[in-house]
Structure 1
Amino acid sequence: MKDNKLKMDGVIGGFKIKGKDNKWIFARAENNVVMETAEKIQISDIALTGFYHFSRSQDFFDTAKAAIESGERSSGEFYIAPMYNQLIKNGKRFSLDIAEKIIPMGTPLDVKNIDLSQIKNICVR
């Protein structure tokens, strides 16, 4: 799914949030090109959905391996979003795909609070 027209190396899913909430992963973008990501530090009004696409799987594997070998962690865990910063630093470009609607499922409380009718309305067309 390489975007040859725009010369992108992948796609990052995001959505707009209102107010301040550091529970999310954030991206700062210019003209729908991701410039930076941050784990649980609000650098913009764009939170990430957790859906990531790499045009070359090797980009993901190489960066993940380097992060693990260096012990690069956020809040004691390995996260995908911060790896994008290294790829961006190395000249890779990622487009931002803004979702119109999301149903948060990142925490047990998010899952507990899901309104099942929301899912039915999204899945059944």
Structure 2
Amino acid sequence: MIIVIPMAGLSSRFKQSGYNEPKYMLSLWDKSVFYYAIHSFKAYFNQEKILFVCRDICNTKAFIDGECKKLGLQFYETITLEKETMGQAHTTLLGLEKSETKDTESLLIFNIDTFRPNFSLPITTDFSEIDGYLEVFHAEGNEWSFVLPDKNSNKVLKTSEKDRISSLCSSGLYYFKHTRDFKEALKFSMQNNITTKNEYYIAPLYNILIEWGMDIRFFTINLSEVVFCGTPRDYERLKQLNKKDIV
């Protein structure tokens, strides 16, 4: 399995709020936002490769090397992009292609601005029998990626972006049994211009795989098990809280 962390976003909301660094570089408690996001996968350090896909700004590659040293993470690769991308899915695709990741490798994608303390893959399913899964929680609001569930199982019937088709909201963690499936679904989206606000998001790709007859599942966690740091408001709120209560 390869764990991909797309981090080529513009951090536009942070820039507009006066922050001078990308959000993943910001200090939080005694570390950085990056540190806590990646620490989520401590159980898989130096077992599964972690691929960082970033833009060539603010000396990010050197920053990543320094943070990975603090984390004790050795099995990783950083792909640096020269241009802006067309969204998180596009960033992931470029990273996979440049890293020459095998199509048969399983793929786990997660955000750089979200913390998932003590993450581990679900143990309640046989991964050889499914083609992918999303991690979800119940929440209010319309700002999430959503899952429409089968009434009698944890099978995904449909996903949506910023369209509340259920109360099941994505935590931003996505699994694909084969990297090839992710790549082919995204290339189909690009060929048919299937975007959300002119960007390519990851959750909608599962709709294509479902149409192709693949088995996509969801696994539910408690909202308290995931920590968001994607907006200035989230960041400033976390700074006021006790680290021990969060991670």
Match for residue 143 of structure 2 among 23, 29, 46:
23
- Bigger Rg, which one: 2
Which amino acid letter does the alignment assign opposite residue 155 of structure 2?
Answer: V
Match for residue 236 of structure 2 among 107, 112, 115:
112
Pairing 1:79-118 to 2, within 5 Å after superposition: 79-100=201-222, 101=224, 102-114=226-238, 116-117=241-242
The 1:69/1:110 distance shift into structure 2, 3 A limit, reads: farther
The 1:26/1:106 distance shift into structure 2, 3 A limit, reads: farther
Aligned to 2:198: 76
Aligned to 1:36: 158
Q: What do the CA deviations read for 1:65-121 (whole angstroms, capped 9, x no partner)?
A: 22123222101211011111111111111121112222123434333322553x544
Residue 71 of structure 1 aligns to a residue whose secondary structure is: coil
Q: Which runs of 5+ in 2 are unaligned?
A: 1-105, 107-125
Whether 1:50 aligns to 2:172 is yes
Q: What do the CA deviations read for 1:8-61 (whole angstroms, capped 9, x no partner)?
A: 1112110011x4x11111001121111110100100010001100001110001
Larger relative contact order (Cα-Cα within 8 Å, sequence gap ≥ 6): 1
Q: Which runs of 5+ in 1 are unaligned?
A: none
Q: Separation in 2 of the partners of 1:72 and 1:107?
A: 26
Q: Separation in 2 of the partners of 1:85 and 1:75?
A: 17
Residue 170 of structure 2 aligns to a residue whose secondary structure is: strand
Aligned to 1:3: 127
Q: Separation in 2 of the partners of 1:13 and 1:120?
A: 24
Q: Separation in 1 of the partners of 2:227 and 2:198?
A: 26
Residue 238 of structure 2 aligns to a residue whose secondary structure is: coil
Residue 61 of structure 1 aligns to a residue whose secondary structure is: helix
Residue 227 of structure 2 aligns to a residue whose secondary structure is: coil
Aligned residue pairs: how many?
118
Taking structure 2 as the reference length, the TM-score comes to: 0.44
- 1:122 CA drift (Å): 5.1
The 1:42/1:106 distance shift into structure 2, 3 A limit, reads: farther
